[in-house]
Amino acid sequence: MSLAASGISIRFGGLVALNNVAVSVSLGEIVGLVGPNGAGKTTLFNCLTGVAQPQEGRVELEGQNISRLRLEHRVRLGIGRTFQTPRLDLAGSVTEAVMLGFNPRLRQSMFGACLPFSPARKTEEELSARARALVAEFRLAADPDSPAGELSLGHLRLLEVARALASEPRYLLLDEPAAGIDDVDRDLLAQTIRKAAARGLGVLLVEHNVGFVADLSHRMVALVSGEVVAEGKPADVVGDPHVIAAYLGVQHVAA
């Protein structure tokens, strides 16, 4: 049971962003995808989520080809994601922002949504209670009705994770979740990711910060200039000369 991309190639004009890349994540596994800026991490992430279409290669979910499915279909199939830059209505409340996360699992008709005294009203009560529980669990805000715009960047990133988890995904794809957040929030984030994996979710982490990923993941994949240069146990990948060279420069390895 896995979400797997294989033979992925993408070119933007003459620039080869990804060249025959394969990456996979199984249920219950935390996979860290690392690489320096411009390595193609986000492009690969976009291929997995359905935002970008690769020119070659395929993406499979539990053995089924989902390469041609759009983002909204993949989300409904259980591939949840977060955004590198939090995307939400900053004027809306924290609870409402989390409640949006339930949408992929809901089958609500436009008609039912408009009607008073319809089942949609009861659903609304339930979703609100569940969203408030998530707000409390992630310690997002003391007042769940406060505007999301008042949250710190760290809390906005946690909110993105809470919202993605609200859609009950089987695979959780996180785009740079730890960038720019403080140690307390980072620990809470790490705990959350471990807990999610323990519950059987497959987690793919795209991160710039190698230390954070190495601590957390079961397996790491290092991407440099659009190619996989190392893959395996975190300790091996972190110690791999190609990875060190990519991060610190070739001279360092030679010396």
Partner 1 sequence: MSRDVKLWTAPAVVVVGFIVVMLLGLVRPSLHTTMFTIGLYALIALPLGLIYGQGGTISLAQGSFAALGAYTSAILTTRYGISPVLSVIPAMLLPAALAFVIARPILRLPELSLALVTLSLGTVIAVGLQRGGDFTGSYVGLSGAPPLPIVGKNPVLVAIALWTAVLIVVVLYSHFVRSARGRALNAIRVDRLLAEAMGVNVPFDLATLFAVAAAIAGLAGWFYVHAIGYIAPDSLNAETSANILFMVVLGGRRAVLGPILGAAFFTFANDFLPGAETHGLFFGTILVLILLLSPDGILSPQALRAMRRLFADRSAKPSVRPAPIADATEAVR
User: Could you give the CA distance from residue 24 to residue 202 in angstroms, rounded to a whole number?
Assistant: 10
Contact status: 116 vs partner 1 (CB under 8 A)? yes
Per CB under 8 A, 197 contacts partner 1: no
Q: Does 182 bind partner 1 (CB under 8 A)?
A: no
The reply on whether position 16 binds partner 1 by CB under 8 A is no
2-12 β-sheet, strand order: 15-26, 2-12, 56-61, 64-65
Site for partner 1 in 39-68 (CB under 8 A): 49, 51
> How many chain residues interact with partner 1 (CB under 8 A)?
55
Verify binding: residue 131, partner 1, rule CB under 8 A. Answer: no
The radius of gyration of the chain from alpha carbons, rounded to an integer in Å, stands at: 19
100 binds partner 1 (CB under 8 A): yes
180 is a site residue for partner 1 (CB under 8 A): yes
State the nearest-atom distance from the C-beta of 20 to partner 1, in Å: 27
Residue 147 carries which DSSP code? B
Q: DSSP letters of 55-92?
A: SEEEEEETTEE-TT--HHHHHHTTEEE--SS--S-TTS
Residue among 121 and 199 whose Cβ is closer to partner 1: 121
Instruction: Extract the tokens encoding 139.
Output: 């310690």
In the range 155-174, which residues lie near partner 1 by CB under 8 A?
A: 155-156, 167
Percent composition of the chain: helix, strand, coil (DSSP 3-state, to 5): 45, 25, 30
Q: Tell me the Ramachandran region of residue 11: left when phi exceeds 0, alpha when psi lies from -120 to 50, beta otherwise.
A: beta
Which residues of the chain form contacts with partner 1 (CB under 8 A)? Answer: 49, 51, 70-72, 75-76, 81, 83, 85-92, 96, 99-106, 108, 110, 112-116, 118, 120-121, 123-125, 127-128, 141-143, 146, 149-156, 167, 180
